[in-house]
Structure 1
Amino acid sequence: MSTPNHELLPEPPPAPSPAVPRFGVTPARWTNPHRLLPRVRWAVQIAYLAFLALVGLEFARFVSQATSDGPLTVSRPPAVEAFLPIAALLGLKRFLLTRYWDEVHPAGLTILLAALATAFLARKAFCSWVCPVGTISRALEWIGRRTLWRRRWPAVPRWLDLPLSSLKYLLLGFFVWTVGQMPLEAIEGFLRSPFNTAADAKMLLFFRHPGTMSLFVIGALAALSLVVKHFWCRYLCPYGALLGVASLLSPLSVRRDPDACNDCRACTRACPAEIPVHTRLRVISTECTGCMSCVAACTTPDCLGVTRKGARALSPWLVPAVALSTLLGFWAIARATGFWETSLPAAAFRFAYRLMGIE
């Protein structure tokens, strides 16, 4: 008895099952919609760094004219006061006690409050999207990844990471304790002193003519940043420590869906602070800078996102948008209400510069 021809044909192979992401394998059709976050962050950081460079050049011209006998035709850029955090901290205590804004360096106090506001609203996005030191640290990380650590950055052991991380909080505690112990009369005297008035020019001299020890310290920090991601930001920056404490009250945080996670650990490898994102349901940490690198590196759809106190996932673009709009809002309000420009005339700065021996 003959067999029909179709029974002699081999059975067709079974249809492939839908791809299930495991161990870093993702469906080919899925592309992370937030993959451009790091590039946009680079653009914002470089733009702000260029802005600060222009501010520095303008301020250098102002100091040059102020220390000469010629007329003062260049205005002093208020944004230079961003480099005076101690004066801003003293100005903040004075404001809380008297409700009077700092007349000498008003922009410094505005910038400090704006940075704290960004931490309350959008974690430490000021550190990762605006701060020039954070930009330099990221550039050093980029260099290290392409020269020394092409495969993977060496992880800092937890037994060493925890005590090193405490250093910046100890520095913050020292500054807060010192300012807290100062009576109002001493703060008033310091803020009105020629030393405080000339603090911006002294900072300029530091950048212009750093000493041997300063160059050694800067070189050591740069070398350490090629071995440890963001060494200064993670272990020594008291400003970042202050924002980290404030960020604990932020309603926004990165959340991870354990059911969607494929345990590829791309998020943890991308984190500049080496937070083990792949083990957290929500990233509630004073070390999280809101850079969104983990979300951009995620290999699984709907695994990482941003939540508002456990609510539904929000777009990660909201974090930098809130941070940048908050900074711009503080600047616009301060400028419109007279809390941005110093009330001191240019002649007062000239007198203070000469009195402090600045040439």
Structure 2
Amino acid sequence: MSTQHDAPAPHSKTPSASPSPLAILPDAPARAEKWRNPYRALPRVRWVVQLAYVAFLLLVAWQFVRFHDAVLGDGPISVARPPAVEAFLPIAALVAAKRFFLTRYWDVVHPAGLTIFLAAIATAFVARKAFCSWVCPVGTISRALEWLGRKTLWRRRWPAVPRWLDLPLSAVKYLLLAFFLWTVVVMMPLEAIEGFMQAPYNLAADAKMLELFAHPSATMAAVLGGLVALSLVVKHAWCRWLCPYGALLGLASFLSPVSVRRDPDACNDCRACTRACPNEIQVHAKLRVLSTECTGCMSCVAACSTPDCLGVTRKGARAWSPWLVPAATLAVMLGFWAVARATGFWEASVPPEVYRVAYRILGIG
């Protein structure tokens, strides 16, 4: 209601009442209403995308179990092997990637694994480490454990890991990455790569991994239990400290033109962005988030309490939409899959009976 309506009519003998504070400012109700972040739905959409990938991988796992059982049987193998199971063979993909860059020959044993490996690296170039936060199933499990810890242990606030401890522990994944890069990329000659790729172990690596998780040893069960317990105390402990895959994507993200950018003139120093960051990056103290630990989850942007404070790549109202980060990630992943599928570089060209021979040589089952 405008102030004109609140003012007494001219020559009125009725005494005027004192104007209310809201009557002084015509737009006071709009100003009193808290600003609603247009990107607050990002975390919920991220859950949808992550759970969709988990559901897909569970379907892949079920299909592979059926294939595995058919290979172990004596009858004809009528169940198709799902190519996407090769996503869980990053070491084989790294070996195949070196062979591809040396010879220009695509891997015929695990072609989908090489496709997914290169697609994940490509996402780091265009959208930082968004593969980790939007696609990777381990990232989804880590996020679920963070949610569980927040609901059961840290209802008020997660305990922050001191920087003097976080930094050296974060270096562990880079040491693991350095070991694999040194072993495969530097020290492994082409002849050794060819021998490894044709070996029965490489052919049945997915079956060996299935049996490892289906029948875990006491040591493996203790390690997995310890990681679960640690993730309830430390946000994304595996991703932050131990994952060499994430370390590789973090290094590739240095070449990405995309980053979260903060406008200090619009910032009110509420620090909601820093509290929302799963890797505890001090977003509120940075002009640009260029850390290799940034996974492009956009949680900081979704938590921001001030308009035009946090954006992508550019400042203020000129910033790119944060929705471009997951959109670019999914577009790259699906694009690599579509091209590989159309050109015959997705499904392995290995006869089913060859798998049966490899399984028997390795004593699987």
Do the aligned residues in 1 keep the contact of 2:177 with 2:245 (CA within 8 Å)? yes
CA shift digits 1:65-98 (9 cap, x unpaired): 1011011110000000000000000000000110
Deviations 1:153-202 (A, max 9, x none): 00000000000000000000000000020110001000110010010100
Partner residue, 1:23: none
The equivalent residue for 1:319 is: 325
Instruction: Report what 2:150 is aligned to.
Output: 145
Change (3 A) 1:17 1:268: farther
Q: What pairs up with 1:327-342 in 2 under 5 angstroms?
A: 327-342=333-348
Mark the CA change 1:357 to 1:260 in structure 2 (over 3 Å): closer, same or farther.
Answer: same
1:70 aligned partner, one-letter code: G
Q: How many residues align?
A: 350
Post-superposition Cα deviations, 1:2-44, rounded to whole Å, max 9, x if no partner, equal xxx99x977546646988xxxxxx9525211111100100001
TM alignment of 1:132-281, pairs within 5 A? 132-179=137-184, 180-281=186-287
Partner of 1:35: 40
Residue 61 (1) aligns with residue 76 (2): no
Match among 108, 111, 135 for residue 106 of structure 1: 111
> Secondary structure at 1:220's aligned position in 2?
helix
Greater per-residue helix proportion: 2
Structure 2, unpaired ranges of 5+: 1-11
Counterpart AA for 2:62: L
Q: Could you tell me which residue of structure 1 aligns to residue 312 of structure 2?
A: 306
Judge conservation of contact 2:109–2:197 (CA < 8 Å) in 1. Answer: yes
Check the 8 A contact 2:261/2:314 in 1, yes or no.
no
1:52 aligns with 2:57: yes
Over the aligned positions, Cα root-mean-square deviation in angstroms equals 2.0
Preserved CA contact (<8 Å) 2:239 2:246: yes
Q: Structure 2: how far apart are the matches of 1:150 and 1:311?
A: 35
Equivalent residue for 1:343, pick from 330, 343, 349: 349
TM-score (norm 1): 0.93
C-alpha spacing 1:351/1:235, structure 2 compared with 1 (3 Å): same
Q: Which secondary structure state, in structure 2, belongs to the residue aligned with residue 305 of structure 1?
A: strand
Match status 1:293 vs 2:325: no
**Residue 96 (structure 1) aligned with residue 101 (structure 2):** yes
Which ranges in structure 1 are unaligned for 5 or more consecutive residues?
Answer: 20-25
Give me the whole-angstrom Cα distance separating, in 2, the residues matched to 1:18 and 1:311. 22
